[in-house]
Amino acid sequence: MRRELPPVVHEALATLHDELLPVTDGELADYIPPLAKARPDRFGLAVCTPEGGFAAAGDHDEPLTIQSISKVFTMALVLGDRGLEGLLKHVGAEPSGESFNAVSLEEGTGRPDNPMINAGAIVTCSLVKADDSTERFERILGMMSGCAGRELEVDEKVFELEFATSDRNRALGHFMRSAGSLTAEVEPTLEVYLRQCAVLVTASDLAVMAATLAAGGVNPFTDERVMSTEAARHVMTLMATCGMYDASGEWMLRVGSPAKSGVAGGVMTASPAQFGLGLFSPPLDEKGNSVRGVEACHRLAERFSWHAFALPADRQLPAALEDDDAEGA
């Protein structure tokens, strides 16, 4: 059941929204018109707890395409289908230290570095068990919808534009096929991958999806188990090491919770058993992460000390989240 989190959490989000709205740093992704025309002043934040506590500020109900954040959910599905060993046979688990669309395959095996970069995500898509691409995509959409607790939809226009212009991902696919790391056909696999990137979510959805991971795979509102506890742990582990691309190391230093970003300006971070946070602001830094999204997490993490490696006594967050004298919405 959804209930309001205590005022201190609402206030923290609202204050942060107002503080960071004037920030004009960062560039919009410009490889397709819908992203290039995004409004740079859009900024939404939402937090959700595994118990269904919720708070949000700004444009938290504004739709955005999920883009790379989708990689997390496809990985979870493949873990369910094939187990960790089945995934690791085809995709590595090491940070690439390079940008999200880099061409970097492991010497000897030809495996892409990890499922959070494009090369690894394309192979991961091909590993979802299904009779055809339609079913494969439906299963991925089902996983994302289960985590969001509502039926998500595809922005078909974004999908078509991505598919028509995705030369680099197409090249990655062919390169991996020649290396033997992608055994499926390139075009149908690319279609599934780009369709999953074009799924529409809001910052509120991202918070619920992250809270589902934080709850070990159970959606806080529907109580549906959408993935195993183990799968949730595995995806959060790779989010921690590889989720923010080549900024993942600094992210873990400063924020300290597993996270994933997307090129439309979405960021999602999960703190196991504590909360999920979803953010949306389109301007990106040079690593491809939302400028306001990253800064908001830096500030929140500093204030509430939720770092995964912080001593429990130093953490401010559980107290703030559990102090729920406010009544349910």
- Binding residues (CB under 6 A) for ligand GLN: these are 67-68, 100-101, 118, 162, 169, 197, 262-263, 288
Nearer to ligand GLN, 119 or 320 (CB): 119
- The two structure tokens encoding residue 37: 């025309």
Nearer to ligand GLN, 197 or 201 (CB): 197
Given 145, 201, 245, 271, the catalytic residue: 245
Given 68, 126, 166, 181, the catalytic residue: 68
Minimum distance from residue 111 beta carbon to ligand GLN (Å) = 19
Identify whether the C-beta of residue 55 lies closer than 8 Å to the C-beta of residue 81.
no
Helix residue spans in the chain (DSSP H): 7-20, 33-36, 70-88, 118-126, 133-148, 156-165, 167-179, 186-197, 203-214, 229-242, 248-254, 291-304, 317-322
Minimum distance from residue 42 beta carbon to ligand GLN (Å) = 17
At which residue do the structure tokens 């118990």 appear? 51
Minimum distance from residue 274 beta carbon to ligand GLN (Å) = 26
Given 70, 192, 193, 260, the catalytic residue: 193
Given 72, 199, 255, 263, the catalytic residue: 263
| Cα–Cα distance measured from residue 63 to residue 17, given in angstroms and rounded to the nearest whole number | 17
Nearer to ligand GLN, 119 or 301 (CB): 119
Nearer to ligand GLN, 118 or 271 (CB): 118
Catalytic-residue membership of 68: yes
Cα angle 237-240-241, degrees, rounded to a multiple of 5: 90
| Cα–Cα distance measured from residue 204 to residue 201, given in angstroms and rounded to the nearest whole number | 8
Catalytic residues: 68, 71, 193, 245, 263
